[in-house]
Chains A and B, each alone.
Chain A
Amino acid sequence: MSNYVINHLKELESEAIFVIREIAAQFENPVLLFSGGKDSILLTHLAKKAFFPAKIPFPLVHIDTGHNFPETIAFRDQLVEKLGVKLIVGSVQESIDKGRAKEETGADASRNSLQIVSLLDAIEEYKVDAAMGGARRDEEKARAKERFFSHRDEFGQWDPKNQRPELWNLFNGRKNYGEHFRVFPISNWTEMDVWEYIKLENIDLPSLYFSHQRDCVVRDGVILANSEFIKLKENEEVVNMTIRYRTCGDMPITGAVESEADNLDKIIEEIATTRTTERGGRADDKRAETAMEDRKKQGYF
């Protein structure tokens, strides 16, 4: 007689697929928030598995800050074509041009929090009632308190002190008019789980995640890619380095790590021995101790 156990990656996969199918069943206009990072690529892969042989029954939404890595955009377009799924692009540049969002100034200016405006606008325009994302609880301390089904009021705000209790596998997606949900099917995955699963399932990733040569600027200990979006401060110089990315946000705020890891096995080995968290290089989290919570309350992912 066989032993009726599944390993932890299969259990996490099964949980995520259950949640993705619940979203499709409980909501009228769900979307998948696609950033081009490994977590949203994983989520898209799981969504494909959940509905096969049918196509993914909801569109991908990408909030384009205009500061994306070109590799991310190319990868996105390829994936969308391969899956035959609809893509909606919400543009931060458009929000700025329309006067809906105001560009930050100064050397550390970023468009990170401006995404909130474009995201909420897209949600309103397409009457989105559930936006699923690849956020994980192990990423950041405010995310450790997130539900799978996270309620947002009519202003898109999160109220962390008044969250719905979530019991067994019974997810309550009922809401009043104008409210919506953020749903996080891979809540329980860690960075290691994500990489192990990517290897197991042979999932394609943008080249950014693998070791490569790049012109960089080191600012406050964070390695940033040199690009047209970054203004050099005094005493800063451009250095060519061997790096890779552990997470993938906008070019001016995503820190790289020096790394020779050019394949999945080496990346997994590197993560197993690393002593910093993957968001440790994210300038957007370093603005205040509760920077993530503050943005999430306003409607950030």
Chain B
Amino acid sequence: MDYQDIELLRFTTAGSVDDGKSTLIGRLLYDSKSIFQDQLDAVEESSKSKGFDYVDLSLLTDGLKSEREQGITIDVAYRYFATPKRKFIIADTPGHIQYTRNMVTGASTANLAIILIDARKGMLEQTHRHAFIASLLRIPHAIVCINKMDLVDYSEETYNTIVSDFKSFSSKLGIKDIQFIPISALNGDNVVNRSENMDWYQGSTLMYHLETVHISSDHNLVDCRFPIQSVIRPHTLENQDYRGFAGRIDGGVFKPGDKVKSLPSGFVSTIKTIELNGEQISEAFAPMSVTMTLEDEIDNSRGDMIVRENNVPEISQDLEVLVTWMSTKPIQARTKVVIKHTTNESIGMVKELKYKIDINTLHRIEGIDRLEMNDIARMSIRTAKPVFYDAYKKNRQTGSIIIIDEQTNETIGAGMII
């Protein structure tokens, strides 16, 4: 194996302890040999001192004192493991407190979501929530694990009923790639190893799917977007005239010699070099961090965006956004806020709250006058300066914003531009 040449897959797991989520994560970590002996010893020790007669694998992920005391997960925890085929980052989101806020946070960077369903209980309200948030945040791939198959006698019929229930709900959501896998996280059926108890299931195991799901087209490779983070000017004798634009590619493929346009100035130039640390790069695409130089001297600065001449994003001061409200302080229309979008920042005003979405039924609730924590709603925002954006469904980076409280400076909302 060549560890240096494997891909990175980021996934979220959603669900509560009862779904067997911690057991599943524990199983993935354990079977891929990513739990170390001293970690396991520490967890066994704590489980024993709490009087449990089994090893509570959730103690591996619940790191904070108050989490361990209360036996709940408060915050998103990140876990890491690798197999010879891929490296994985799990954003493990809690099922109890501030559910929506945490799941949205974990989902914003994920390529894939694992949605857990207890085979004995079938589709629950929380399954609706998980699926809805995965689709709202446009996670490209979802795996629905129907867990605890051992407790329903590995019944194909039970499995089929749940799959068909889920499909009829998710048809309204538009998740592109959904796989279904019957598993028992406790016994390991179809997690890493194929189950001997379910010969009626012909599909792949969870681990096989995680290792092979096609993620190279998860980034937008069509619409070239390069938001400028900063301008590199060395001020040294040998680099007197050097002027490099530092940033991370958010979409498309850039090559030296390409004709490009700079926003908001509208000036057109040609890419002279794309480099990092002095090494030349022939093709740059998301999510690469690079430094770009142009043939002409153009006065770009942080917050500006370099795009292709014939493919520009939307440019507007009026944004229509689906937001998740993340603050305990409610918000009303006519509130002044700070908007952060790519490397750009602007004062903004919440102009109108249009409707809330009931995340269990997907119904719209009209006529609202405020948003509370964990609400998902549509609002219109007016910004003090133009924003260069794409619809979120076209590009997750150039289509997203965060909303910041002007007084406390806290992040109070996450928005996806329609």
Residues of A within 8 A of B (CB): 2-15, 17-18, 21-22, 24-25, 48-55, 137-138, 140-145, 160-161, 163-170, 172, 174-176, 187-188, 190, 192-193, 196, 199-200, 268, 274-277, 280, 289-290, 293-294
- The answer for the CA separation of A2 and B242 in the assembled complex, in Å, is 30
- The answer for the CA separation of A38 and B235 in the assembled complex, in Å, is 30
Contact B229 A161 (CB under 8 A): no
Contact A170 B401 (CB under 8 A): yes
Contact B38 A277 (CB under 8 A): yes
Q: Which residue of B lies closest to A193 (CB)?
A: B87
Q: How many Å from the CB of A215 to the closest CB on chain B? A: 26
- The answer for the CA separation of A5 and B285 in the assembled complex, in Å, is 9
Q: Which residue of A lies closest to B253 (CB)?
A: A4
Residue B400 CB within 8 A of the other chain: yes
Contact A53 B239 (CB under 8 A): yes
The size bracket of the interface on B is 35 or more
Chain B residues within 8 Å of A169, by CB: 109, 248, 397
Contact B75 A275 (CB under 8 A): no
Contact A145 B75 (CB under 8 A): yes
A4-B216, A4-B285 as given contacts; A145 in contact with B277, CB under 8 Å: no
Residue B376 CB within 8 A of the other chain: no
Contact B401 A138 (CB under 8 A): no
Chain A residues within 8 Å of B42, by CB: 289
Chain B residues within 8 Å of A175, by CB: 409
Residue B66 CB within 8 A of the other chain: yes
Chain B residues within 8 Å of A275, by CB: 36-38
13 residue pairs bridging A and B, Cβ less than 8 Å apart: A4-B285, A5-B216, A14-B287, A22-B229, A22-B343, A137-B78, A138-B80, A142-B64, A144-B77, A170-B400, A172-B404, A275-B38, A277-B36
A8-B8, A145-B75, A293-B63 as given contacts; A54 in contact with B232, CB under 8 Å: yes
- The answer for the CA separation of A152 and B62 in the assembled complex, in Å, is 22
A50-B246, A142-B63 as given contacts; A196 in contact with B4, CB under 8 Å: yes
- The answer for the CA separation of A138 and B235 in the assembled complex, in Å, is 39
Q: Which residue of B lies closest to A288 (CB)?
A: B65
- The answer for the CA separation of A190 and B34 in the assembled complex, in Å, is 11
Contact B289 A167 (CB under 8 A): no
A18-B229, A18-B289, A25-B302 as given contacts; A165 in contact with B37, CB under 8 Å: no
- The answer for the CA separation of A294 and B63 in the assembled complex, in Å, is 12
Q: How many Å from the CB of B409 to the closest CB on chain A? A: 4
- The answer for the CA separation of A143 and B64 in the assembled complex, in Å, is 9
Contact A168 B8 (CB under 8 A): no
Chain B residues within 8 Å of A164, by CB: 410-411
Q: Kindly list 11 other residue pairs between chains A and B, CB separation below 8 angstroms, not including A52-B278, A55-B234, A141-B62.
A: A5-B216, A6-B287, A8-B6, A17-B276, A21-B289, A54-B232, A164-B411, A169-B109, A169-B248, A176-B409, A276-B38
Contact A54 B234 (CB under 8 A): yes
Residue B155 CB within 8 A of the other chain: no
Contact B3 A293 (CB under 8 A): no
Q: Which residue of A lies closest to B40 (CB)?
A: A275
Contact A7 B338 (CB under 8 A): no
- The answer for the CA separation of A53 and B219 in the assembled complex, in Å, is 29
Contact A53 B4 (CB under 8 A): no
Contact B46 A196 (CB under 8 A): no
A53-B239, A53-B242 as given contacts; A7 in contact with B7, CB under 8 Å: yes
Report B153-171 CB contacts with A as 1/0, cut-off 8 Å.
Answer: 0000000000000000000
A14-B289, A164-B411, A172-B411 as given contacts; A144 in contact with B229, CB under 8 Å: no
Chain A residues within 8 Å of B289, by CB: 13-15, 17-18, 21, 50
Chain B residues within 8 Å of A5, by CB: 7, 215-216
Chain B residues within 8 Å of A163, by CB: 75
- The answer for the CA separation of A257 and B125 in the assembled complex, in Å, is 51
Residue B268 CB within 8 A of the other chain: no
Q: Which residue of A lies closest to B239 (CB)?
A: A53
- The answer for the CA separation of A40 and B410 in the assembled complex, in Å, is 29
Q: Which residue of B lies closest to A201 (CB)?
A: B277
List the one stretch of B100-108, B174-182, B187-195 in contact with chain A: B100-108
Chain B stretch 350-406: residues in CB contact (< 8 A) with chain A? 396-397, 400-402, 404
